[in-house]
Structure 1
Amino acid sequence: MRLCELRQKEIINTCTCKSLGCPVDFEFDCKTGKIQSMIVPIPGKFCCFWGKENEYIIPWNCIVQIGDDIILVELKEEHCCRKGHSF
């Protein structure tokens, strides 16, 4: 599967049954080349147009399943929320 295909999938948190949106970017380990996390803007934000807004950083190990149209994740949203440049 290509990264561009992952970007078209909606992410659903299985803990809350809530849609988190679609991934816009990925963080990966330069040494191993493995994806470490998906970056998803918090719904209603336009991080690409208005600078860095609030976003979810979803660790790759939180992924439960990748389906044809959705990515199921299991996580506590408050632990993966990053606000602007405060990290």
Structure 2
Amino acid sequence: MTVYELCERDVVNVTTGQNLGKVDDISFEPETASITGVILYGRLKLFGLLGREEDTAIPWGDIEKIGTDVLLVRTAVSAPPRSRKKLFGVK
């Protein structure tokens, strides 16, 4: 598996069923070249003009299973709730 293939996968929390997002980067220890975790970038604010939310780091030990299209994790980290605004205020 390559880093590119890993970055195509969604990350789903097993305990809550919440989709945390896609893997954007990995963190590793340079001395041993071992992966220490995956990083999910925060969501963009106003198309990136106002920066982005905080990144989410998930330790490698929290990853339960790497599937063909999803990473299953068991972690206390949760994605910030998305606020969806309805067009013209109609719900």
Q: TM-score range by the shorter chain?
A: 0.7 to 0.9
For 1:52 and 1:60, the matched residues in 2 are separated by 24
Q: Which residue type is aligned with residue 62 of structure 2? A: C
When the two structures are superposed, what TM-score results if normalisation uses the length of structure 1? 0.77
Structure 1 residue 41 displacement after superposition: 2.3
Identity among equivalent positions (%) equals 30
Q: What's 2:13 paired with?
A: 13
SS in 1 for 2:4: helix
Which structure: larger Rg?
2
Q: 1:46 aligns with which of 44, 47, 65?
A: 44
Other-structure match for 1:85: none
- Which structure 1 residue ranges, 4+ long, deviate > 6 Å from structure 2? none
AA aligned to 2:76 is K
TM-aligned CA deviation for residue 46 of structure 1: 2.5
RMSD over aligned CA atoms reads 2.0
Unaligned runs of 5+ in 2: 81-91
Q: TM-score, normalised by structure 2?
A: 0.74
1:74 equivalent in structure 2:
74
Q: What secondary structure, in the 3-state scheme, does the structure 1 residue paired with 2:32 have? A: coil
Structure 1: give runs of 5+ residues left out of the alignment.
82-87
Aligned to 1:31: 31
